[in-house]
Structures are given as structure tokens and as C-alpha cells.
Amino acid sequence: MLIPFIKMNAQGNDFVILDLFAHELPELDHAKLSEQICDRHFGVGADGLVILKPCKDAEAQMIIFNNDGSRAEMCGSALRCVAWLMMTKLERTELEIRTDSGIKHAIREVDFIRVNLGKPRMLQSNMPVKGFLGDLVDIGNPHYIVFREDVSDDPHLMYGAMLEHHPAFTKPVNAHFVQVVDSDLIKLKIWEHACGATLACGTGAASAVFAGITRGILEHQVAVEVPGGSIFITAQTDGSMLLSGEVAENFRGTYLWKT
């Protein structure tokens, strides 16, 4: 079966996108397809598979599958990518996208796509897990945020998998290690549930800034250096978090899926 796709990334957090506005496809086993098309050796290669489809209450609906076939609740990087696609398609600079975590608002600002990720919740601050004291934040998906003096030793590679599946959490989490460079600048190392180490994570960046604001160590506008580049988080007065950054289309192609 031939499946047309678009490959995009946001600071290296990359996705294979199936645009159902442009191409009608039969019912597919998206979980199985995600495992195969996202494989970096035998497929196209990506952190996740994104289904972009029409819906009644927004300009489009985004459904995300991790590269292990599991369905993701939310992804800020993927949201910016599909927002760019829809804005280009509709010749709009503002629209709404339905996600599994609700409808999200997106705006185009020159080269940046800005999305409102909603209001994060602090599920537990200073939560002890295997020698770490981190903040458990929910912003449509769960993030465990650990602040450290230095993250240059890549602690996410050493401890990310252990934290992701630790029994202290009711379900797997995204684990992030944060170095505060200044009150408006942090470095973030990322371990995403079902994906492992990734180059960027929008919801993770927003959760880290939210945790830092709650601790009184970060301002309400923060630049976040991730391994794949820089993104920007703004905490609004209503408690919602804005995520801004560039996105890029890598290429388009057709995947031969041998089901």
C-alpha cells in the first residue's frame, strides 16, 4: 500500500504527517503503521506519526502516535507543525486545532508558530523518586521536572528510562532535567515517554518553565535551549502557557507499507 506523507520537525522533534485533507486513505492500523513508518532504519524515521484530519469544531484534528505505536495525549512540537501546514493550506495566520487534550489555538508570527498549550497543573512538587526531588506537572501529558546545577553530562540518558516507568507514577511520564542559566533562560535535556531521548519537547519546555515559576526562580518569559535549538515559553496572566518557535518541512514522499 502506498501512503503519501509529509516529514516535518520542530527543533529536531520530528514527525511523519498523514494529511487526510490532501489524500483520502482507508481505515488503517495507525499503531502498527507508526511503529513501522517511524523506524529510523527500515522506515521514514521519526519521533511520532501524526494524523491530520477534518473535524467539526476546529480547522483540523491532530492525532498523535509515538514511534512505539502508543497514542500520545499531546505534543507541542507536532501541534506547531500541523498548525503551519493548515495555515499554509488555508492562507490563514490564526486557527484552532483539536487534540486529545482539547482544542488549541495557534498563531503565525513571521517565522514562528505560537500555540497556546493551556493551563498546566502541579500534581506534586518536590516529589521524591529514586533519589531525585522533582515536580510532577500535567499539561495534557505528565512531565517529571528535575532541576540540576548542570545538565552537560546528559542525565536524561542515564536516568530517563528509569524515571519514565518508575512505579511512583500512576502512568509513564516524560522526564526532563533543567539547568537554570538565568531567570529568563534554561537548558533542557529531554526523555520522552515511548520515544526516549528527543531533541525538543514543547510541552516539556512549558512544564519546566511552569515548575520554575512556581519555585520562584524563573520569569514569565523564558527562552529554552533544547538539544535541537531554541524555543520560547510565555506564561500568561490566566495561567496558560504559550509555546513559540520555528518549524520546518523536511520533505514529502510516499511510503510503501507492506501490511
Distance of CA 213 to the CA centre of its chain: 20
Could you give the C-alpha distances from 249 to 15, 43, 181, in angstroms and in order? 10, 18, 31
75 is catalytic: yes
Catalytic member of 38, 55, 75, 195 = 75
Percent of residues in the chain assigned helix, strand, coil, to nearest 5: 20, 45, 35
Q: DSSP label at 168?
A: T
CA atoms within 13 Å, Cβ hemisphere of 66: 16
Burial category of 240 from C-beta neighbours within 10 Å (exposed 0-12, middle 13-18, buried 19 and up): middle
Q: Are the beta carbons of 50 and 76 closer than 8 angstroms?
A: no
Catalytic member of 38, 81, 195, 201 = 201
Q: Are the beta carbons of 23 and 17 closer than 8 angstroms?
A: no
**Active site residues per annotation:** 75, 201
